[in-house]
A and B are shown apart, each in its own frame.
Chain A
Amino acid sequence: MKKVLSGNEAFARAAYEAGVGVVSSYPGTPSTEITENVAHYKEIYTEWATNEKVGLEVAIGASLGGKRAMSCMKHVGLNVAADPLMTLSYTGVNAGLVVIVADDPNMYSSQNEQDSRHFARFGKVPMFEPCDSQEAKQFTKDGFALSEEYCTPVLVRSTTRISHVQTIVELEDRVEAPKFAPENNIAKWVMIPANARKKHRFVENRLELLKELAEGDKYNKITMRDKKIGVVCSGVAYTYVREAMPEASTLKLDLAWPLPMKKIAEFAASVDKMYVVEELDKFYETEIKAEGIAVEPLDRDLCGELSVDAVRELFGLLPVEADVDTTLPFRPPNMCPGCSHRGIFYAISRLKLFVTGDIGCYTLGLLPPLQAINTTVCMGASIGMAHGLDKATDDMSKKSVAVIGDSTFLHTGINSLVNTVYNQGHSTVVILDNTITGMTGHQPNAGSGKDIHGNPMPKIDFAAICKAVGVKEENIRVIDPFDVANAMEVLKEETSKPEPSVIITNKPCIFADRTVIEEPYFIHEDKCSGCRVCTKLGCPAIAWNASKRIALIDENLCTGCHLCIKVCKFGAIEQRSK
């Protein structure tokens, strides 16, 4: 049967068809829907891990235990999981293990534009690069068999234009994966130097065997068309090349690593000019040139994504002149109406605190009118950076806070808090506990009290964790983020203390708990003074009527969160009665 599936649905389907037993991942755009879709297959044990490193380690354990296993993450997630990956390359696997890593060229929802192909070379492990959903499914399935045959973890690289693109896929049945007994093999699994030295040799030998696979008939097909131009390409870039230059000969790299250098040399010899078209870094080009094979130069931007038009332009094929109107009023992303982050950010912005921020919906606190985020680096960085800021300055700890979400705190924030306490820092950490991983589409986490399927689970007690790591009980404050006056008072008190403090907000994301939504508010035109305080909250439901010079509330958007009445000094805002 044929079906239109997104790349992410196809990756999930591959896990099902390949007889996978365990999947453990941390959400991250554009990879999140892979694991969400795997969770629909009841044959597969699926979980949200606390971070990508944990997710991969769970997958390693599952492979050791004899079940095919998978872990999925965004590109920066693989940085977190890089530690286990690098040594997993040495140990190899028991049952097949595939890691799917989704890059984000053009950074639609990411903090950097790193190219994950480097991890394949770095870790000396094979990496597939599918060009559509059918290949996403096929290569991932192949990956499990290859993992077992070569005793290696297998990487599959996606990009936003693979994960979030739907194409036609031929569905197949689930097969029972080969049976593997749980393994107990000290020489293979205990990477002390004496064992690891032998395993490094094994890794180098394995890479040579994988090169033979790459040179074979199954992958990396050469298609000869016009001999004047030959293009080496992979992934979605292959589809752009095919459309922009249908006559060009192609060498399509299904395996991004290791590269089939003999085939590439043969291809180079059979065309007049050979080019490499790839997104982001000159990964293939650098390797091919290092082999002494001539590659024709292209003036390609290393930033952003390619397209049919971009490829046409590279080859001087009538670039289409098209005007883009950049003067239109923007629709920037914004915290939702009723968002539990808005009140505390308003309080922080009123106090003009310097904010070391983190990764999540609350990064949007950066935008006007709140403008209360000063740094964003990576998952968990807010707390460590606040501590460094404190140690480097005389009084910044009194004028700054670290802001981090519940899921991000559990991901990699908690260890930084231990560090702050241990090293006698003075910084104040605000944990925005909205009980959900919001930005990636509302996945449960260890603080949510439910698992990936929504079943009840133990709920992590943030205050108890902070106390256990040594934050004094009187410096741990649980507050209602909508109570702006109290939030400002507590922020002032805790930032003034020469000790570590933690402020925990206690209201859920409106998508985590729909029962918090109440009747909407409205503004009495005659009572509104036009002072515009409510519009400074940045709530999408509050607009400004310029002709009447009063504020107004869009009752279709308002969730009745009460925040605006807390700041209106004229009693002009009232709730609709039921």
Chain B
Amino acid sequence: MKLDILMVGVGGQGTVLSSNIVCDVALAAGYDVKKSEIHGMAQRGGSVVTHIRIGETVDSPTIPLKSADIVVSFERMEFLRYSEYISDNTTLILNTQMILPPSVADGAAEYPQSKVDSVKSKFSKVYEIDAISKAIELGNQKIAGMVVLGILAKSVPFAKEVWEQAVKDRVPPKTIELNLKAFDTGFNY
């Protein structure tokens, strides 16, 4: 098995927690796993990208071009920045939340909605979800990432119990129930 997952988003969206859970699941399922992320200068409001690679053995910690199996975009346009990783057989999991880049916010540029639509069509499969609304329905905007993770879990061959255990191990004890509910919402979406 080989599974290359690219997670992209905007700083502060909780991509780090989600990607840590994916690594825990891969390890528990008996696979090799490597995860590479860039953090530092562009944390808050900057574009963030995490490479996760799962397999019998993994060499490079970063995904080669045109070979991502799944792209998880926590923001509506962010996957556009990484379109060089899309192959003919890549799945897109898209949270439709919009976070305006500064040039769009101050009116100098337009949000690239038409590009979102055209690049989206290059994926072999697309799951779209307004995870923020789902999270607000469940009672807390902060668990939107867990809804997205639930969709990812449905798309990869690891047992649901392994995911649930990894979520329990990673989130604050008081929030376990809420996080599992959010995960389920995504899983059953």
Q: Does B associate with A? A: yes
What residues make up the interface of A, taking CB atoms closer than 8 Å to B?
Answer: 2-4, 29-30, 108-109, 132, 160-161, 164-168, 236, 239-240, 242-243, 307-309, 312, 320, 322-325, 328-334, 336, 439-440, 535, 540, 543-546
Residues of B in contact with A, size category = 35 or more
Partner of A166, one of B23, B38, B59, B112: B23
Q: Are B38 and A309 in contact (CB under 8 A)?
A: no
Distance A322 CA – B122 CA, assembled complex (angstroms): 13
Residues in chain B near residue A323, CB distance under 8 A: 83-84
Q: Are A243 and B107 in contact (CB under 8 A)?
A: no
Q: Are B45 and A334 in contact (CB under 8 A)?
A: yes
Q: Are A4 and B33 in contact (CB under 8 A)?
A: yes
Partner of B112, one of A29, A329, A332, A540: A329
In the complex, the number of residue pairs spanning A and B with C-beta atoms less than 8 Å apart equals 137
Residue of B nearest to A363 (CB): B41
How close is B30's CB to chain A, nearest CB, in angstroms?
10
What residues make up the interface of B, taking CB atoms closer than 8 Å to A?
Answer: 10, 20, 23-24, 27, 32-47, 58-62, 64-66, 77, 80-81, 83-85, 100-107, 109-112, 115
Q: Which 9 A-B pairs have the closest CB atoms?
A: A109-B40, A322-B84, A546-B107, A543-B105, A243-B59, A329-B101, A29-B40, A109-B41, A165-B61
Residues in chain B near residue A322, CB distance under 8 A: 65-66, 83-85
How close is B128's CB to chain A, nearest CB, in angstroms?
20
Query: With A239-B59, A333-B46 given, is the CB distance from A328 to B35 under 8 Å?
Result: no
Given contact pairs A325-B83, A543-B105, A544-B107, a sample of 12 additional A-B residue pairs in the complex whose CB atoms are under 8 Å apart: A4-B33, A4-B35, A108-B41, A168-B32, A242-B60, A307-B62, A308-B64, A324-B83, A324-B84, A329-B101, A334-B45, A540-B102
Q: Are B46 and A331 in contact (CB under 8 A)?
A: yes
Partner of A161, one of B20, B61, B77, B81: B61
25 contacts between A and B (CB under 8 A): A4-B20, A29-B40, A164-B38, A164-B39, A165-B37, A166-B20, A166-B34, A167-B61, A236-B60, A236-B61, A240-B59, A307-B64, A308-B64, A309-B65, A323-B83, A325-B80, A328-B77, A329-B109, A330-B101, A331-B10, A332-B102, A333-B46, A440-B40, A540-B105, A546-B107
Q: Are B33 and A168 in contact (CB under 8 A)?
A: yes
Residues in chain B near residue A164, CB distance under 8 A: 36-39
Partner of B59, one of A3, A108, A242, A334: A242
Q: Are B83 and A243 in contact (CB under 8 A)?
A: no
Residues in chain A near residue B27, CB distance under 8 A: 2-4, 168
Residue of A nearest to B47 (CB): A331
Distance A482 CA – B4 CA, assembled complex (angstroms): 47
Q: Are A328 and B32 in contact (CB under 8 A)?
A: no
Q: Are B60 and A240 in contact (CB under 8 A)?
A: yes
Residues in chain B near residue A334, CB distance under 8 A: 44-45, 102
Distance A355 CA – B40 CA, assembled complex (angstroms): 24
Distance A312 CA – B24 CA, assembled complex (angstroms): 31
Residues in chain B near residue A312, CB distance under 8 A: 64
Residues in chain A near residue B66, CB distance under 8 A: 320, 322
Residues in chain B near residue A132, CB distance under 8 A: 34, 61
Distance A320 CA – B46 CA, assembled complex (angstroms): 27
Residues in chain A near residue B102, CB distance under 8 A: 329-332, 334, 540
How close is B20's CB to chain A, nearest CB, in angstroms?
8
Distance A57 CA – B53 CA, assembled complex (angstroms): 40
